[in-house]
Structure formats: structure tokens, C-alpha cells
Amino acid sequence: MARRVLGPVLLSACLASPAAACAQLTSETEVRLIPHADPSRAPPPRAAEEFTRRTMTATWAQDGDRLDVTLTEHRRCKTLTMVPMIREERTTRTLDAGVYWEFGIAAVTAAVATYAFIRPEAFSRPLINAEGQILRDPSAGYTSGGIFAGIAALSLGSGIYDTVRARDSITYSDAEARIEGPEAPCHLPESPWSKRTVALIVDDRPIATAMTDEAGRATFTLPQIDATSAENGRLQASIRADDEHAVAIELERPHPPTVGPAPPP
């Protein structure tokens, strides 16, 4: 009976002890760029640019209710110098006190397992036979020794694994240092505002839209305009290229409003 009870109890202790002693690993990584040890053997720096902003200009011509507009995009970029460097990534890892529990459990359970194999009869209940002899069954001791040996091996393996994965590491790779320069026109400073939908704005409201062609040209057919911004037959308007850019233009009223008495019935 004792042997049947002892086995499950020891097995439960075997599974619970290493799990409770699992070590937690924390790591910190530091990255820095360092110059090449021999600059003469390093690749030469290269020039680059980064787009920063754009401005828009427009030319237009009006013939009655026909308005031809040409939109041009002007790009500004930040000049960059990319210097070859070496990227050093240094990772520092630290284990908490759980690793000491792993090795401690391994030592204690290994000692118990050794004792169980040397004195297996100490783990059994003494029985007296009919002749009055005291008998002890060593199988309980061997079973207990095997269980504790398994705990010791598992805890020792966990401790070794955690110790190995907690080693610090340093890795090196090629990288570039970015040195920013002043803003200047881009390598391709201007281009047509092509294949974009643009809108004609009068009094802060769109009155017509058109699609630009490859050369940035768009043609509007002007409707009759009754604008509050009209002055001497001329209208202040704008061409909206996108949500952020618009170019002011000036139009002639294509259809002057009729002024006078109402016709007789």
C-alpha cells in the first residue's frame, strides 16, 4: 500500500518543482554605429536625397467658357550623405534567482536519489512474516530513486539551458550613417502634374473638375458663374491640385448675368 501511494506523490513533486523554478530572462539591446577600422578599405560615401515638400505653379488661358490650365509640380529635397559604417548590436541578458532554484533542486533530488539507490529498504514499510522475520521490499526505494533522479536530471538540464541562453552576444553588420544637408531642388526639380483630378474653385466651392493629361494640362468648360468675388467682370479663383495645394488664378466672367426689368407676361 505504501508503495502505491508513494509513487504518485513523488511524481507530482517531480512535475511541480522544475515548473515553479523556471528562471525568467531579461535582456537589453544597445545598437550603435562605429566607423570602419580601416577607412581606406571601406566603400566610399554616396549622395542621396529625401523629398521634403512640393509647390505648384499654373499657367492658364481662357477663351469664353473654355479654360485651359497647365499645372507643374516643383519638388524640394533634403540633400543626404550616406557614410558606410558598421552596426554593432550588443545584447546583455540577465537571469533572475530562478536559475539558483533549478540547480538547488537538482542537487537535493540527486542526493535523495543516491540515497534511495544505496539504501532502498529505507523507503519501504517493514513487514513480519510467519516465522517472525522482518522483511523489507527494496522496490519502493528503487522507484523513489528513479523518480528523484528524473527530477534531478530535468532540473539540471533546465539550469544548463537557462545558463546557456543567458549569455551576452554581439553581432556586427554593414550599415550607413545618415548626414543631412540643406534643402535644395530635387534631382528632377519639376514635372507635369499628370493624370490627376483637379478642381476649379470659386468662392471656396468647386464649380468644375477635370483630369490632367501627361503634360499636366486640363480643360474646363465654365458654367454660368454668379460669384460674389467678381469685380469689374473678373473673378478670383483657384485650381486645387490636391487637399494641400492650390494655385490662384483670375478669370473673366464667361456669361454676364442679365440685368434689367422682367419681361412682360
Per residue in 119-175, pLDDT tens?
A: 888 887 777 766 767 777 788 888 888 999 999 999 999 899 988 888 999 999 999
- Give domain status of residue 232, yes or no: yes
Cβ(216)–Cβ(239) below 8 Å: no
The pLDDT value recorded for residue 228 is 57
Domain tally for the chain? 1
User: Does residue 260 form part of some domain?
Assistant: no
When comparing pLDDT for 214 and 11, which is higher? Answer: 214
Is the predicted pLDDT of residue 265 greater than 50, yes or no?
no
- The residue ranking higher by pLDDT, 56 or 265, is 56
State the pLDDT at residue 60: 93
Residue 117 covered by a domain = yes
Predicted local distance difference test score (pLDDT) of residue 49: 93
Cβ(52)–Cβ(76) below 8 Å: yes
Contacts of 144 (CB under 8 A, 6+ apart): 6, 10, 112, 113, 116, 123
Tell me 231's DSSP state.
Answer: B
Three-state secondary-structure class, residue 228: coil
pLDDT above 80 (res 263)? no
Q: Is residue 27 part of a domain?
A: yes
Q: Examine residue 262 and state whether it is found in any structural domain, yes or no.
A: no
- Comparing 32-41, 42-51, 225-234, 255-264, the range with the smallest average pLDDT is 255-264
pTM passes above 0.75: no
Work out the pLDDT band at 254, boundaries 50, 70, 90. Answer: low
Residue 258 in domain: no
The range of the structural domain enclosing residue 163 comes to 2-252
At residue 24, the pLDDT reads: 86
Q: What is the structure's pLDDT at 227?
A: 57
At which residue does the C-alpha cell 434689367 appear?
260
According to the model, what pLDDT value does residue 172 have?
A: 94
**128 occurs within a structural domain:** yes
- Quickly state the pLDDT bin for 9 (edges 50, 70, 90): very low
pLDDT number for residue 8: 47
DSSP result, 152-207: HHHHHHHHHHHHHHT--EEEEEEEEEEEEEEEEEEEEEEEE--S-EEEEEETTEEE
Please give the grid coordinates belonging to residue 115: 540515497
* Residues across the chain: 265
Whether residue 56 contacts residue 89, with contact meaning beta carbons closer than 8 Å, is answered with no
The pLDDT of residue 52 is 94
Does 235 fall in a domain? yes
